[in-house]
Chains A and B, each alone.
Chain A
Amino acid sequence: MERSNKSLRRLLDRLFVPMTVGPTLILIVTIIAYPVYRLFVTSLYRTHPITGEWQFVGLENFRRLLFADGADGWLTVFDPSFVAFTRNTIVYVGSSVTISFLLGLGVAMLLDRDLKGRSWIRTAVIVPWILPYVFSGLMWRWMFQAQYGAINGFLLRLGVIEESVAFLSNGTLAMVALIVADVWVFTPFVIVILLAGLQNVPEQLYDAAEVDGASRWSRFWNVTYPFLKPSILVALTIRIIFDLRALDIVWVMTEGGPSKETEVWASFLYRTSMEFQNAGEGAAMGVLMLAVTFGIVTVLYTFFSGSPYEQ
């Protein structure tokens, strides 16, 4: 009895690694690798318009996605609508990431000091990030609502405008509204990441810089920045990647409208595959996004390797 118990124990111990890693691995392979495989396969097929059968079309979906109809060959003209929603994506992601980064850095630096009630402020700051994005998107749609919205309410009371403004019906204003909402949601994330980085800066270095009479700017550049670099890169990577692929806010606020002026990659992908049931072209867009994401990760990862953490 004693002996069989012991050998069972030894067997269980020997199986510790496979038993703890195995299930996770199997799950991840089935729910990620298999869909990724299906994504690539789907991107090479189209449903026949008449028979509804699946047809292998090679890279045709990519050609339709990227290049203007009627263009003969690959290296001709880019599809104007592809150019338009790619430009929207860049404007949206670029502005929103830049603004939330600068704002987040400012708030993090204000919080990185000995303030009474700091923990309360941090609590108040974190909440917007963990609300459902649908909630936040609809909330901002309500804020910007054409007649009864709070922003029109303010502007009317202050006398800035005479009549309500239909923010979400104007392409430029709708894009501004999306960026405002996105900055509102994600600045807290930037604050948390950068604050964690700021707290890793050794206090003595600040004291030393002060003794040396370094200016504020030089203190930031020579003391804070080198330590903050890894956090900055993490914040930027995650912000960029998330904004590129996030659909929630855009979809509930504008659905890509008015007249596609806020259409971004994510909303195009969703519309193509779900509304127009064009799985092949939707999958091609998915493959493209995958490639772009990996590109960005690789570029930013290269920056990473010089960080003080890695040593």
Chain B
Amino acid sequence: MSTKPSTKLARLLGIETGDEWPDVVRERWIAYGLLSLYVIVLWFPVYFIFITSIKPPGEAVSIPASFLPTEPTAANYVDIFTQRPFELYTFNSLVVATTTTVICVTLGTLTGYTFSRYDFIGNRALLLTIVGARMFPPIALIVPFFAIMSDPPLIGGLTGSLYDTRVALILTYIFFNLPFSVWIMKNYFDGIPVSLDEQAQIDGCSAWEGFFKIVLPMAKPGIAATAILAFIFSWNEFVFALVLTSTESSQTLPIAVSLFVADDFIDWARLAAGGMIAAFPGILFGLFFQRHIVSGITRGAVKE
């Protein structure tokens, strides 16, 4: 049996401490090995769909599947914008996700702050109602959502129903994301000392000034987390977009990608290209804002 020096000592001494590798060092290499294996398995499918997107359609369907494209091409990406209205789908996705994010972050921040700081009648019940709304299985509501969006407008002068409009999607995604935003922001504000607000009040700030000038700037990381998650969730949403839209005037990228699936034939090379465009924000945010996403999920899920 090898002796077991502390982690620090092992790092200082490196691997060659004696005839045998110390347990800590060996364990670390095992951990590296297993984690690398997991990451490779995790990324392989993404790699496979990426290389499919840059293969000529003929090569995409070779048997057995090739794992390195012989003639990389951007043709699939060009095709989906020239032969299909991908610029419209992208635009719809951007409008819907951005609008939802702005509304959810604005309201979530204000409401989250008040729930964190103020004691008012029924505040616990209200918070529970708002947060509990997140527990609703959204799919249970596709029937009423479809019906409501297809209803004639309540207010005279509006023409037509909300069905197949971006507004319908935005309203739906607010329902998905607002409770979550309130919850993350409330927990974030809970972590900012109340003494800051009190000091602002003593210095003669109004409640609004204290909030905007003192507390809000400190909440930037929480706001970033909320915004990223709200954007990603709205950008990625599929089921409600499938039910509530029917033309390219409101269909989003996830729907556009699913439209490549015909009953007996799937154009895999172009589907892969469309899929990569739909996956782009996820990959981008994941690579560069991982820290914010992680803090957002853990604050939203586990109350610290």
- Point out residues on A near B: beta carbons under 8 Å: 9, 12-13, 16-17, 19-21, 23-25, 27-28, 31-32, 34-39, 42, 106-107, 110-111, 113-115, 119, 121-128, 130-136, 138-140, 142-143, 145, 147-150, 152-153, 156-157, 164, 184, 188-189, 192-193, 196-197, 200, 230-231, 234-235, 238, 241, 244-248, 251-252, 266, 269-270, 273-274, 279, 282-283, 285-287, 289-290, 293-294, 297, 309
Which chain A residues border B146 with CB–CB below 8 Å?
Answer: 273-274
Stretch at the interface among B14-22, B76-84, B219-227, B254-262: B254-262
B130 CB contacts on chain A under 8 angstroms? 24-25, 28
Residues on B with C-beta less than 8 A from A110 are: 31, 34-35
Q: Is B184 an interface residue (CB 8 A)?
A: no
B interface residues (Cβ-Cβ under 8 A, vs A): 7, 28, 31-32, 34-35, 38-39, 42-46, 48-49, 52, 60-67, 107-108, 110-111, 113-115, 118, 120, 126, 129-130, 133, 135-148, 171-172, 174-175, 178-179, 182, 206-208, 232, 235-236, 238-239, 243, 253-254, 257-258, 260-261, 268, 271-272, 275, 278-279, 282-283, 285-287, 290-291, 293-294, 297-298, 301-304
CA distance A35 to B151 in the complex (A): 12
Question: Given A24, A42, A247, which contacts B139 in the complex, CB threshold below 8 Å?
Answer: A247
How many Å from the CB of B66 to the closest CB on chain A? Answer: 8
Q: Are A142 and B272 in contact (CB under 8 A)?
A: yes
A and B contact pairs by CB, cutoff 8 A, 8 listed: A21-B111, A34-B148, A131-B283, A132-B236, A156-B63, A197-B302, A252-B238, A270-B239
Instruction: For the A-B complex with A17-B120, A28-B133, A294-B135 known, give 11 more contacts whose Cβ atoms are closer than 8 Å.
Output: A12-B208, A24-B111, A42-B143, A110-B31, A132-B282, A147-B61, A153-B67, A184-B42, A193-B298, A246-B139, A287-B140
Residues of A close to B63: CB separation below 8 A: 147-148, 152, 156, 164
CB <8 Å contact, A124 and B144: no
How many residue pairs, one in A and one in B, have C-beta atoms under 8 Å apart?
A: 280
Partner of A230, one of B140, B174, B254, B302: B302
Looking at chain B's contact residues, is the secondary structure mostly helix, strand, loop, or mixed?
Answer: helix
A94 and B70 alpha carbons, distance in the complex (Å): 42
A16 touches B293 (CB 8 A): no
Q: What are the residues of chain B within 8 A of A107 when measuring CB–CB?
A: 35, 38
Given contacts A121-B39, A279-B143, contact A139 B235 (CB under 8 A): no
In Å, the complex CA distance between A123 and B292 comes to: 11
B35 with A28: CB separation less than 8 A: no
Chain B residues near A136 (CB-CB < 8 A): 45
Contact of B301 among A238, A248, A269 (CB under 8 A): A238
A248 to B278, CA, bound (A): 15
With A24-B111, A130-B232 as contacts: A283 and B258 at CB distance below 8 Å: no
Residue of B nearest to A309 (CB): B303
Known contacts: A27-B107, A28-B133, A127-B283. The answer to whether A134 contacts B139 by CB under 8 A is: no
From B46, B64, B67, B285, contact of A130 by CB (8 A): B285
